[in-house]
Copies of this chain bind each other. A is one copy, B any other.
Amino acid sequence: MKLTILGCHSATPRINTNPTSQVLEINNHIFLIDCGEGTQVELRRNKVKFSRIKHIFISHLHGDHFFGLIGLISTFRLLTRETDLHIYGPKGLKEVITLQLKLGNSWTNFKLIFHELTSNESEVIFEDVKVSVTTIPLKHRVYTNGFLFKEKEGERKLDINAVLNADIDRAYYRKLKKGFDVTNEKGELIKNETVTKEPNTPKSYAFCSDTAYTESIVPIIKDVTVLYHESTFLEKHAHLSAPTKHSSAIEAATIAKKADVGTLILGHYSTRYDETEEFRTEARTVFDNVVLAESGKVFNF
């Protein structure tokens, strides 16, 4: 997986800070997560091919997470895109996008397929052979979901020397990869585990923004490879978390610890802070493996 941060500040776009947007590359998919104002310019800056974006996930309908969506769709239109575009987000998104297209008399020549979310339970919203995407119900001032992107368990890997030594016909390789025992050329039963290895551990990425501190997400994001959890405030402003339904760096780290995640990425910093290093310092008092999101930063995992 490759995660590119396009923007990771809260509230308003400014000269050197962009609102929330991320690109996740996973098994040939390019998923766009949230789309604040200016996202299409950041996609260009980070050389993401527009035509490869086929799925966009919107967490909630606050401007810093979706005001760039209509502009991106319009640009797709101007670039004469023909590929379907799937958009996953809260109910209302379809109405506001289609209203703007209607007012501009600017209908797209590609299919715009809205998957409007209304459930307060975690649900699978995308799935193919290799990947699934599941919602993570969050606690914010409006209806909000995080998203869990998961690789599926892969096939077992052939231990090719063992396979050759065991004198197994090629026709059985597929069965071996699926975990079955097979019979070799001599008619002997070959136990699967003697000629195959464990598949790669499937990786996973959880995006959780915006949200107040809520332990209800812990079972859903348990053991993820990487967790992005919003951390709007430092401790000196932690009293603002509850009324605004945001989290502090320490709250984000506490969730990371309880969920036993691999790496915690912090972001959605309040624009009141000029420096972000202190977010890491505070989070590390609770959880070790913390990194900071910043525009243009790429995480490979």
Contacts and interface: CB of A to CB of B under 8 A. Distances in A.
Contacts of A81: none
A44 interface: yes
Contacts of A214: none
A164 interface: no
A104 interface: yes
A103 interface: yes
Nearest to A10: B78
What range describes how many residues of A lie at the interface? 20 to 34
A95 interface: yes
Contacts of A40: 12-13, 37
A138 to B, nearest CB: 15
Interface in A162-180: none
A142 B99 contact: no
A62 B41 CA distance: 18
A86 B52 CA distance: 41
Which residue, of A11, A12, A141, has the highest number of chain B Cβ atoms within 10 A?
A: A12
Given A12-B75, A12-B78, A106 B63 contact: yes
A93 B102 CA distance: 12
Contacts of A75: 11-12
Given A12-B78, A44-B14, A103 B92 contact: yes
A75 B11 CA distance: 8
Interface of A: 11-15, 37-38, 40-41, 44-45, 61-63, 67-68, 70-71, 74-75, 78, 90, 92-93, 95-96, 99-100, 103-106, 141-142
Instruction: Give the top 10 A-B pairs by smallest Cβ distance, nearest first.
Output: A61-B103, A12-B75, A92-B103, A63-B74, A37-B71, A67-B71, A62-B104, A61-B104, A105-B142, A13-B41
